[in-house]
A and B are shown apart, each in its own frame.
Chain A
Amino acid sequence: MDWLVANWAFVAQLTLTHLGIVIIPLIVGSVIAIAGARVVPTRWVPSTTAALGAVYAIPSLALFVTLPALIGTDFIGPTNVVIALSIYVVASMFFSARDAFNQVPTSTTTTATALGMSRLQLFLHVELPMAVPGLITGLRVVAASTVSMASIGAVVGVRNLGYLFVDGFQRRIPEEIITGIGAVFVIALVFDVGLWLVGRVLTPWRIRGDARV
């Protein structure tokens, strides 16, 4: 605790950086994945699934160091890591989003179409809101993994909570490492609880629906 008390301002700054590096990929990646899950034609789904599965199998450190060579981003710095994490979010969320949309009953989409909803109206009024529970579940998983994966960015020079592991390990300061683990855990928990709450707010019918009258 002494170490944390002495360095709290530094830890707070690392935490903020860490949050930024997690939130941007979560938003960008989810939007791309959700749109993709709706737009990719069914006959391309197997190949898309295979490609994304392969992407997910690339170790994060390897992706961090190869991206600059592929797309010309700075080798050192957050851009690179944010892009790499976004790719992982897309890869993971695409599956969850497809699942979530598949859970929407055909009878609901059929009647909505038959009553004159356009494709876009069907997405906004029917598919998206009804997929919320599945999407939130997927987001909770991907948020936790992104929070922990972002730490690895410290190795390529992004000063986030992962820096506490690298620095603590090199200088043999166990308190620093433990603080890092604790802070990453707290952030992951905040995301998880936050997303759970968002899910509750967006699906009021599931709460009231339980209380049958």
Chain B
Amino acid sequence: MISKGKTDQVTINLDGKEVEVPAGMNLVDAVALHGKEIPHYCYHPQLSVAGNCRMCLIEMGTPMRDRGTGESILDEDGSPKIGWVPKPVIGCATNVSPGMHVKTESEMVTGCREGIMEFLLVNHPLDCPICDQAGECRLQEFATDYGRGYSRYKERKNVKPKRTRLGPRVTLDDERCILCSRCIRFSQEVAKDDVLGFVDRGSFSTLTCFPGKELANNYSLNTVDICPVGALTSTDFRFKMRVWFLKETLSICPESSAGCNTLVSSREGQIHRITPRRNDAVNDSWMTDSGRALYKLIESDDRLKFPLVDQEKSSLEDALNASLSLLRGKSVGIVGSCKSTVEEQYLLNRLAKEAKAKKYLRGHFGEDDGILLSADRTPNLRGALITGFASSYPTEHLSSLAQALKKNQLETLIVVGEDLIESKVDAELLSGVQIIYLGTHENVTSTLAQVVIPTLTSFEKSGSFVNRGFFLQGFQQAVPGPAGLLPEVSVFSRLINDLNGEGELSSDLNSIWKMMARSSTSPLKGLSVSDFKKDGIQLDGSKWADLPFVEQKALHYEAVAEPKRG
């Protein structure tokens, strides 16, 4: 496991050089900190150590001490004599200690790696041309870097079940499996769903589920990510695209307030898969299966692709002008969204001030699974709190909006991404109101709206979310949205500029942040985009500590208060 405290450092001798590494760290991680690689298969920083692949074998020695006195024994030149362990040791199970000497490049180590590599390939099928893992396969990589380079095996290979269905989303090819047991340890330790195991023994050991059971939990695809070879593959991604054609974009999963760090892989404007990105403070190396499937929403049938005015196809310019005429001089209500980015919520708040509008917000809630699917099914509820769009914890219904409509207090509603009917606002209440709907997909409210301005999914724009731990995390645009559409920040800034006639606001994220960071009381004080572009930043959420957050204790998250549904 990685030790988090940077304060305790220990000096070890790595291939002749003295280097500093955090105390308690294992050699595989320690050596990686200094730009060297110890190849490994079964070791994973967030799983227990198995030590069975034997690929990380290295030479290790510790300073010798006199058995009786405990004094260090010295060499001729006065440096401590090193007792080299005669057999190689595995780096993943060896923790650093002061004065330890490590050799990652030596004849013995080279011999070990060539040997282990050869053994791994002995019963491995020649599947590279049809295997999805090609291009990101650790067997390929380490064979190239550390293997012997030619095969000496001239016997028959073992035959095992191929392309079996391990679960609804995972395909298993037992011949490719190198029996590293990462998937089993993951299922037991992280997903807490003990369904995988090895049957038979020796070289005939085979990974399987109990007959009748499946690897069907909401974290099954993580086993595909951590499988170092092409044994476990994603059925959805099977045969779709060679990985070296994929462009990878850093993103954040919008499924819930867990805020899993993701990698969106796309080619020529089409997303082919989503995989988790490692973040030791938020999601380790995992994400939910349901979160991965969200990219399919881009192409779904009910996607809004062009602006509508009075339910007729229109240009964005016309839609914006129509919206302005519905806003000027009218009593306005704005229904914001917890799924909007921080920048969008900030601008929406400014728009609300500009139009002297009343603000409404609802939450989306579900069951907390205690791992990475939190009870709050929106990625940025806290963004709404921080930007000031909301000051109390939203409920599942827009009852105060329904009240306001009953009393005929509002003439125009800007609705961002919510379906009012679902939020317990009766359709009849909407008959006397003009609706400007901004959203990605069609719903009942959008069919009732006078102006529909389609927006972009989180894959098609850049922005940031604040997760349940008050972590501010940014994401990048992966693919372009439908032609002719602009991101919400452009729409909101355009509306604000036209309403106040000043034309000051720009939709550029940097300038938006300059404005947000100006506030002396906001947790965003002094921040700029580059601060959180790659890694998230912890914000101070103490101001909202008393709010009834619904999230339960989960991975890297301690529940703030007694979970109460508002």
- The answer to whether A and B assemble together is no
